[in-house]
Amino acid sequence: MSARSWLTASAFTVAAVTLAGCAQLAPEPSAAPVAEAAKWSYDGESGPASWGAVDSSFEACAAGTAQSPIDLPLTVPVTTTSIDLAVEAVDGDVFDSGHAVEVETDGEGETLTFAGDEFSLQQMHAHVPSEHTVGGQPAAAELHLVHKDVDGNLLVLGILVSEGEASEALVPFIEAATHPADKDEVVLDVAGVLPASLENYEYSGSLTTPPCTEGVQWVVLSTPISMSAEQIDTLEEVHRHNARPTQPLGGRTVVGGTGEVENEG
Ligand SMILES: [Zn+2]
């Protein structure tokens, strides 16, 4: 095995093991990602309404009772908790996961503390339009920053996007998204991506893509960030409408939270 093919295989193993908040789980490192990705889609016969029937391992997509995304209330519930983000420059590779433009990090550079548990950033990807809605209304786009703790528990930080000024911090990600097959290495300024306020909605949900695994902690920031129409168009050209419809809240409760960010340079 050449150094290059080892790197490729190794990178894929990491991608498979780190589970990818909204990417599919590959059963074997050697499995063809394209074949896996082709099993489900965002429209037609393999679209969201059929995910539970596409593969036996996707059962939670249909039978789950704590699924994501959900419709969020217009007013953030009374704040009860706080998250802490410690960020520095994050290195990662930008590529097309098959269902979203994604930057996969080396797991270093950003940690998020939630309820005393420390999570580290594994990957970030984009949905156009947003998956979570607020008062029934989708945002132009939504970024998902997928985090994992040492026990493998997942926390996804959701950032809603409004169309407006360009995001300077997202320029390297967007530029790499224009040629996602090249797997460009970028430096992501996570602190620069965040909105001014970390006020948020928190609830327990699932991956928003098959296998729709539950037990995922969601933290969705209530303040949207801004991206230009051109930036949103670039992401949309790679994947058009990669958003799962909202799911029933059921017996769950959405609580409010705040947060602080510490930029470590
Ligand atoms: Zn996602």
Tell me the C-alpha to C-alpha distance, in Å, between residue 135 and each of 74, 196, 214, 217, 236. 5, 22, 24, 21, 24
Spacing, Cα 227 to ligand 1 middle (Å) = 18
Name the band, by pLDDT with cuts 50, 70 and 90, for residue 265.
Answer: low
Domain hosting residue 43, numbered range: 4-263
Q: Is the pLDDT of residue 100 over 80?
A: yes
Q: Which long-range contacts (CB under 8 A, 24 or more apart) does 25-28 make?
A: 25/57, 25/211, 25/213
**What gap in Å lies between CA 68 and CA 62, rounded to an integer?**
12
Name the band, by pLDDT with cuts 50, 70 and 90, for residue 10.
Answer: very low
Average pLDDT over residues 78-84: 88
Spacing, Cα 21 to ligand 1 middle (Å) = 6
Structure tokens at 112: 């998020």
**What gap in Å lies between CA 204 and CA 126, rounded to an integer?**
20
**What gap in Å lies between CA 219 and CA 68, rounded to an integer?**
12
Spacing, Cα 229 to ligand 1 middle (Å) = 20
How many domains does the chain fold into?
1
Spacing, Cα 130 to ligand 1 middle (Å) = 9
Give the tens place of pLDDT for each residue, 199-209: 999 999 999 99
Residues measured by CB to lie within 5 Å of ligand 1, the ion: 22, 144
**What gap in Å lies between CA 49 and CA 217, rounded to an integer?**
23
Task: Supply the CATH number for residue 54's domain.
Answer: 3.10.200.10
147 classed as catalytic: no
Spacing, Cα 180 to ligand 1 middle (Å) = 17
Give the tens place of pLDDT for each residue, 219-263: 999 999 999 999 999 999 999 899 999 999 999 999 999 999 987
Choosing from 99, 127, 144, 239, which is the catalytic residue?
Answer: 99
Identify whether the C-beta of residue 25 lies closer than 8 Å to the C-beta of residue 209. no
pLDDT at 234: 96
- Contacts with 206 (C-beta within 8 Å, 6 or more apart), sequence order: 60, 64, 66, 67, 68, 212, 213, 214, 215, 216, 247
